[in-house]
Amino acid sequence: YRGEFAFFELDEIVYDVDALDRNPAAPKLPAVVHNFIQFKKGELATVQRILDEIELISLKRTSEGLNETNFTVGVLNCFFLIYLFGAHPEHLWLAYLVEGTYMIPKRFRIMWNARPLNQALYYLDFCWMMNFVGSIVILALMFAGWTDGPHEGEGRRHGGSVSVAAREALFNALLGVSTGPLMGANIALPFVACLFHDVSTMTGLFIHVMPPMVMYTFMWKGDLIREAWPRIFSLSYAEKVRYFPEEGVFFVPGSGLGSVAGNAIALYLLWWIPYVCFMLLVGIDLPRKYNTDGNPANPKYDTVFHSTMRQGACVAIGHVFRGRSKSDSLQQCEDNCFDLVDFFIYMAFHLFAALSAIYVIGYPCFVWRNFHLGMICAVVALAVMRGSRRYTYYATKMYSRTIRKSFKLEETKHQ
């Protein structure tokens, strides 16, 4: 090194080459310096790769909608709906219809383009289908209000093109479903969260929270709705609505029609039975990675059942009901291969939870206005709390975990 420089800097300490020549360890110096330089280069490459990974995460979040515009629109829309719910409840149903017309197709486009599996079949799940039913009913009533003559409104005997009997039956069914299973789903489903920037997550929150809020306005602010929209909603039957049928609190599913609980259970079964048939005939094998002969299946579509099983339900069912090891359950999740016993246990629990919600949550909401309002406030607060956890993760943990993961990978390489 004498021919190139008389001293060099190592860790901010200057060493004299002449002094080092007299040191017995001097012959090892070139190798030490070479290793030090290579170490510095390796550090630089590691840091650069970590920065690239962090940039990829940032781009992913941006592609999901995490930007100033979406966040601002999401926050303002929440303020708008809260204001409308409190100050002008007679118009909340219209906001539900208009916003749903935008958000639900937008979410469908995202689900259709999802990879590695298309998620379009998620829309066959109960919560989505009930929102479709509610939107169709509102549109039908709007159409009837516009086309019927001024003397063919709901207050007359036959109610115009949509009879009073049909209006009452649909009202009872949607009231029970909204204040029961949909309200309960806000508590049970961890992905129902308030992420202002993410239209996909906000749509999931929308279809679970808005129906109970809309039915609150029909139940407890019906006079304002009748006054504002007399051609569409006169709600002449609202005062005589009963929650349970005359034969009692407990009845055979499918009977008890003419009551909130009876109609709600009937509507649930009108979804449950066809959905079970679809899954048995087609759906249960759609996401499987391998055919029964062991060859790759090249799956294209996912279902809510398979998604829920992968998120922990398979392990829980295997442990509690099947005596199955955790490793076997995780392998099933990896292969998207679940048997009929798993499916029937899942659907039986779905049935039990939905019917229980009609009794445990729906009935108190029907009887006590403050309970109904309190449940809405509670599920909204729960959704906000879940969203705050996600934003906290974005701000404090997401990038640090990426850095730790990269350094751990480097340590593994050098061992």
Asked if 237 and 168 count as a contact pair (C-beta separation under 8 A), the reply is: yes
CA separation for the pair 195, 15 (Å, rounded): 57
Mean of all residue pLDDT scores within the chain: 86
Find the mean pLDDT for residues 200-217: 97
Could you read off the pLDDT of 81-125 as tens digits, one per residue? 999 999 999 999 999 999 999 999 999 999 999 999 999 999 999
The count of C-alpha atoms lying within 13 angstroms of the C-alpha of 202, restricted to the half-sphere facing its C-beta, is: 23
Torsion angle of the four alpha carbons 392, 395, 396, 398, in this order, in degrees rounded to the nearest 10: 100
Distance of CA 6 to the CA centre of its chain: 67
- 129 or 57: whose pLDDT is higher? 129
pLDDT band, very low/low/confident/very high, at 5 (cuts 50, 70, 90): very low
Q: Calculate mean pLDDT across residues 18-41.
A: 60
Higher pLDDT, 236 or 107: 107
d(CA 126, CA 272): 8
> What integer pLDDT is reported at residue 252 of this predicted model?
86
Secondary structure (3-state) at 370: helix
Q: What is the pLDDT of residue 381?
A: 97
Q: Name which residue leads in pLDDT, 64 or 215.
A: 215
Contact (CB, 8 A) for 267 and 97: no
> Which residues does residue 126 pair with via DSSP β-bridges, in sequence order?
none
Instruction: Say yes or no to pLDDT of 36 above 80.
Output: no
Q: Is the pLDDT of residue 157 over 60?
A: no
CA–CA dist 99, 202 (Å, integer): 11
Burial code (b: 16+ CB inside 10 Å, e: under 16) for 194-229 equals bbbbbbbbbbbbbbbbbbbbbbbbbbebbeebbeeb
Write the CB contacts of 401 (distance below 8 Å, at least 6 apart in sequence).
Answer: none
pLDDT above 90 for 55: no
Q: What is the mean pLDDT of residues 42-54?
A: 70
Cα distance between residue 208 and residue 213, in whole Å: 9
pLDDT, average across residues 31-35: 62
Residue 9 gets which letter from DSSP? E
Q: What is the pLDDT of residues 12-29, one digit of tens each?
A: 444 555 555 565 655 665
* pLDDT one-digit tens code per residue, 194-208: 999 999 999 999 999
- Indicate if the pLDDT at residue 8 is higher than 60: no
Report whether pLDDT(158) > 70.
no
Residue 9 has pLDDT above 60, yes or no: no
Q: How do residues 326-377 score in pLDDT, each as one tens digit?
A: 999 999 999 999 999 999 999 999 999 999 999 999 999 999 999 999 999 9
